[in-house]
């Protein structure tokens, strides 16, 4: 039975249609508390503040921004990347008066307190370098699935597509709340997630399992749940990639994707999850490097005032922080770094992510400010929105690292992973494969083989190294050449599309290759758990589920 609350998506879509009808109406230019369709203020970790009151983050930010000089204002709108292997990051934070950074590079556990403790110690050093005048922000890309920076030491959720297969927004919210609390304990303020892209009917291998699926209503419910979960834990969510990267075939890292949908198609298929995130009170929206032909032909959304102001702010009524996608990506490099920074800020971006040359970006902004090409009021507006976000985050006390890895968070992740497991072909009760099992995988997936082998044995299954019934794992980037003949079961650990080419009598999707996904898979294979998932994308020749309608 379909568990997605379609009422949530209908409200989001209806709200969007009403907003689009108000094309001539302007929203307030300064940041303020966003209103939901019911008229309630956006949720903050300690409840909504009274707009304009002494505790209103926007009012406090408007007062605080007056204390900042030009260099400090520019520092608030720049967010370069750092990695834990970079010994000079603290000096950069100090000398450029930065308001925040994005932590890039995979963070693995190297011992001595685990990766959460290591990240917390590193981010504490950056905050010390920044001083205590205003909060220093640390963001990262922790989407889970195959875009995950902190890969150990904190709870690992399944991918977005796995949550889409589970179809339980309440489960999504609980899992993201637990994960958000662990990110906060590790020193993370912003998670550039969830992905609000809706996969097109032809599939999309650029976004893939980062998306919750192909149904705008289902994706809307999942996005709203993830936003609520993260932000209730004191971590700012950032829905992306506005206005939608799902109906594309070009990777925006290397080229400029073109959205050829009409405005009505965008409204029906791509924008509802973003509106759902806004209605759920999301504090950030990431603009994609996307050519939206129905709105501003030829201009990437990150440089388009028509997309970011006319559509996102005025029509969809978003009042939080607009962050660019990484400015070191190909579409943004059509301009020199200083020029790209100025153009993006003028278009409506408030936070400039990962400029390819920080010195040039900073100099470009200061030069444009001095020559009145960049109105100071626009810079102040952007900085005020960033400061408002910081003050919202200040309302929540950061958890201690000792809280990371608690049983409740692990249980929420496991429940989501089990809920996602989908049998697209095979039995719907009892063990999926009977007798002894041999686990194999496409090249480079030895960890998954080990995880599944150990989990199967814990579930009472005999696992052998030769002979037996073969369970074959395929994952991200794998195709038909990575399948094997004669396997009793083929398991897709990323998007399920490859299963259409498999010949196995049992075909299963987990949508993720994390350890918790392998533990969930083992329980299903052993017949200890049902497979309640339903594929959120269509696979040619196979049902969405052999067991669920």
Looking at domain 407-525, what is its CATH homologous superfamily? Glycoside hydrolase family 3 C-terminal domain (3.40.50.1700)
Q: What's the farthest any 2 CA atoms get from each other in the chain?
A: 76
Check if the beta carbon of residue 32 is closer than 8 Å to that of residue 384. no
What is residue 26's predicted lDDT score, i.e. its pLDDT? 32
- pLDDT tens track for 153-205: 899 999 999 999 999 999 999 999 999 999 999 999 999 999 999 998 766 67
d(CA 476, CA 152): 19
Q: How far apart are CA 253 and CA 326, in angstroms?
A: 9
Helices 376-394 and 57-64 pack at an angle, to 10 degrees, of 130
pTM of the entire structure?
A: 0.89
Classify residue 403 by its DSSP letter: G
Question: What pLDDT sits at residue 250?
Answer: 66
Q: Look up tokens 């008229």; give the residue.
A: 39
Classify residue 334 by its DSSP letter: G
Find how far residue 393's CA is from the centre of its chain.
18
Q: Given a cut of 50, is residue 9 above it in pLDDT?
A: no
Beta strands 422-425; 506-509: pairing state: antiparallel
- Residues involved in catalysis: 253, 325
Give the H or E element holding residue 237: strand 236-242
- The better pLDDT of the pair 8, 318 is held by 318
pLDDT tier at 10, thresholds 50, 70, 90: very low
Closest CA to 396 of 237, 281, 233: 233
pLDDT of residue 51: 55
The three-state DSSP-derived secondary structure of 469-520 is: EEEEEECCCCCHHHCCCCCCEEEECCCHHHHHHCCCCEEEECCCCCHHHHHH
Asked which of 30-44, 335-349, 461-475 is least confident by mean pLDDT, the reply is: 30-44
User: Where in the chain is CATH 3.20.20.300?
Assistant: 7-15+55-140+188-397
CA–CA distance from 222 to each of 172, 193, 307 (Å)? 7, 12, 24
pLDDT number for residue 151: 87
Burial (Cβ within 10 Å: 0-12, 13-18, ≥19) of residue 255: middle
End-to-end CA distance of the chain: 6
At how many degrees (to 10) do helices 114-130 and 169-185 cross?
Answer: 60
ω before 72 within 30° of 0 (cis)? no
Question: Which part of the chain is CATH 3.40.50.1700?
Answer: 407-525
| Tens-digit pLDDT profile for residues 114-165 | 589 999 999 999 999 999 888 999 999 999 988 999 988 899 999 999 999 9
Give 354-400 pLDDT, tens digit per residue.
999 999 999 999 999 999 999 999 999 999 999 999 999 998 899 99
Residue 430, number of CB atoms within 10 A of its CB: 8
Whether the predicted pLDDT of 32 surpasses 80: no
Alpha helix ranges (H) inside 348-476: 358-370, 376-394, 407-420, 446-458
Query: 225 near 172, Cβ under 8 Å?
Result: yes
Q: Which fold has domain 7-15+55-140+188-397?
A: TIM Barrel (3.20.20)
Instruction: Decide if 163 contacts 172 (C-beta within 8 A).
Output: yes
Residues near 276 by Cβ (< 8 Å), separated by ≥ 6? 8, 9, 12, 196, 220, 221, 223, 224
Model confidence pLDDT, tens digit, residues 309-323:
999 999 999 999 999
């Amino acid at each position: 039975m379909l568990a997605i609350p379609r009422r949530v998506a209908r409200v989001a879509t209806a709200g969007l249609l009403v907003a689009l009808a108000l094309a001539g109406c302007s929203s307030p230019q300064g940041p303020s508390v966003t209103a939901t369709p019911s008229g309630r203020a956006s949720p903050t970790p300690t409840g909504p503040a009274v707009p304009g009151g002494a505790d209103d983050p926007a009012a406090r930010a408007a007062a605080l921004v007056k204390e900042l000089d030009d260099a400090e204002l520019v520092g608030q709108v720049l967010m370069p990347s750092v990695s834990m292997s970079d010994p000079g990051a603290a000096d950069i934070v100090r000398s450029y008066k930065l308001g925040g950074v994005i932590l890039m590079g995979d963070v693995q556990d190297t011992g001595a307190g685990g990766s959460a403790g290591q990240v917390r110690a590193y981010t504490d050093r950056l905050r010390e370098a920044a001083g205590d005048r205003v909060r220093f922000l640390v963001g990262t890309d922790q989407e889970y699935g195959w875009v995950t920076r902190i890969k150990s030491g904190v709870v690992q959720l399944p991918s977005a597509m796995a949550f889409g297969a589970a179809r339980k927004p309440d489960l999504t919210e609980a899992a993201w709340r637990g994960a958000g609390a662990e990110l906060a304990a590790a020193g993370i303020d912003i998670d550039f997630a969830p992905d609000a892209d809706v996969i097109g009917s032809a599939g999309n291998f650029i976004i893939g399992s980062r998306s919750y699926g192909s149904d705008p209503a289902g994706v809307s419910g999942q996005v709203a749940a993830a936003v609520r979960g993260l932000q209730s834990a004191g971590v700012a969510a950032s829905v992306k990639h506005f206005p939608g990267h799902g109906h594309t075939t070009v990777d925006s890292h290397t080229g400029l994707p073109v959205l050829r949908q009409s405005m009505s198609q965008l409204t029906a298929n791509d924008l509802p999850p973003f509106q759902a995130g806004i209605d759920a009170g999301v504090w950030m929206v990431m603009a994609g490097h996307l050519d939206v032909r129905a709105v501003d032909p030829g201009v990437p959304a990150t440089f388009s005032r028509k997309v970011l102001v006319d559509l996102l702010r005025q029509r969809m009524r978003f009042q939080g922080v607009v962050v660019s996608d990484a400015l070191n990506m190909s579409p943004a490099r059509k301009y020199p770094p200083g020029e790209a920074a100025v153009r993006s800020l003028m278009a409506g971006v408030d936070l400039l992510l990962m400029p390819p040359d920080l010195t040039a970006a900073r100099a470009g902004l200061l030069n444009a400010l001095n020559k009145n090409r960049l109105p100071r009021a626009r810079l102040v507006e952007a900085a005020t929105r960033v400061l408002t976000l910081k003050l919202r985050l200040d309302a929540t006390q950061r958890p201690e690292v000792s809280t990371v890895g608690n049983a409740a968070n692990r249980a929420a992740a496991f429940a989501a992973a089990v809920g996602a497991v989908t049998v697209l072909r095979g039995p719907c009760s009892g063990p999926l494969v009977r007798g002894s099992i041999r686990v194999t995988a496409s090249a480079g997936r030895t960890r998954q083989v080990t995880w599944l082998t150990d989990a199967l044995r814990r579930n009472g299954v005999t696992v052998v190294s030769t002979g037996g019934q073969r369970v074959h794992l395929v994952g991200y980037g794998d195709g038909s050449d990575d399948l094997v003949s004669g396997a009793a079961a083929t398991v897709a650990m990323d998007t399920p599309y490859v299963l259409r080419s498999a010949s196995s009598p049992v075909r299963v999707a987990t949508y993720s290759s994390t350890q918790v996904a392998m533990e969930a898979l083992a329980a299903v294979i052993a017949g200890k758990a049902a497979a309640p998932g339903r594929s959120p994308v269509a696979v040619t020749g196979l049902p969405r589920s052999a067991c669920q309608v």
